[in-house]
């Protein structure tokens, strides 16, 4: 914690636009670039909120489970589910999964038939819950609200991270240009100093 506070303090002192006469034009440009980068990073929060809200609203639509979209119905197994693995060999000691044909009533009033996922060894005639769409075909369960919140949060976070990465690369590139100018100025100053020293005559 102490090292982090010291690092922040050093950065503040480095980029603080004071009246230090030793500050060069490149130093002031770098400080201005830091300020601009921070401001743009703050502005990136707004598009992150917009993206997160959009993902959240789409998630809410996916959560809806009703007539014409998707609904849960009771299906009846038409045949025993086979044992694909030895009993108890599933994850965490649970029964291994299997598939068996089952039938259910579609919203149109017609019977539908399809393969449903059930524990291995489930007997024919067993009732299981399945999700169907408006045409009575098997579909995936609706998205949970927790998944909706997670998706929206991750989307917003990725926008902020992407903006931060882009701004960081742009700042590093700009600072690299400033450093090249600094190095050139230092080389010129050293060359001038060396020329002066050579022109001096030794005393005595």
What pLDDT tens digit does each residue of the chain (204 aa) get?
556 555 545 555 555 555 555 566 777 777 788 888 888 888 989 999 999 999 999 888 877 765 567 888 999 999 998 886 544 444 444 356 788 999 999 888 889 999 999 998 889 999 999 998 888 899 888 788 898 999 999 999 999 999 999 998 998 888 888 878 777 777 677 777 777 777 665 554
Identify which of 131, 143, 154, 141 has the alpha carbon closest to the alpha carbon of residue 59.
143
List phi, psi (to 5°) of 106: -80, 160
> 152 lies in a domain?
yes
Query: Does residue 98 sit in the same domain as residue 84?
Result: yes
Query: Does residue 78 sit in the same domain as residue 57?
Result: no
Query: Does residue 54 sit in the same domain as residue 100?
Result: no
Identify which of 6, 147, 130 has the alpha carbon closest to the alpha carbon of residue 63.
147
> 154 lies in a domain?
yes
In this structure, are residues 84 and 120 in contact, taking their beta carbons and an 8 Å threshold? yes
- Which range of residues forms the domain containing residue 101? 66-141
CA 33 – CA 158 distance, rounded (Å)? 23
Query: Does residue 137 sit in the same domain as residue 149?
Result: no
Structure-token pair, residue 129: 């819950």
Q: What is the dihedral of CA 52, 53, 58, 59, to 10 degrees?
A: 70
Distance from the Cα of residue 146 to its chain's centroid:
16
Query: Does residue 79 sit in the same domain as residue 58?
Result: no
């Amino acid at each position: 914690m102490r090292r982090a506070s010291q690092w922040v303090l050093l950065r503040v002192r480095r980029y603080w636009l004071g009246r230090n006469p030793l500050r060069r034009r490149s130093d002031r440009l770098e400080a201005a670039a830091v300020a601009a980068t921070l401001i743009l990073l703050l502005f990136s929060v707004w598009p992150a909120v917009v993206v997160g809200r959009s993902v959240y609203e789409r998630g809410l639509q996916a959560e809806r489970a009703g007539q014409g979209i998707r609904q849960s119905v009771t299906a009846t197994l038409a045949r025993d589910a086979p044992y694909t693995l030895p009993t108890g060999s599933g994850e965490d000691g649970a029964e291994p999964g299997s598939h068996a044909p089952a039938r259910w009533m579609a919203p149109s009033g017609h019977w539908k038939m399809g393969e449903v996922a059930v524990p291995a060894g489930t007997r024919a005639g067993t009732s299981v819950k399945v999700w169907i769409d408006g045409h009575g075909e098997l579909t995936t369960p609706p998205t949970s609200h927790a998944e909706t919140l997670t998706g929206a949060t991750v989307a917003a976070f990725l926008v902020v991270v992407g903006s931060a990465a882009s701004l960081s690369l742009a700042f590093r590139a700009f600072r690299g240009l400033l450093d090249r100018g600094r190095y050139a100025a230092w080389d010129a100053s050293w060359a001038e100093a060396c020329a002066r020293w050579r022109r001096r005559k030794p005393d005595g």
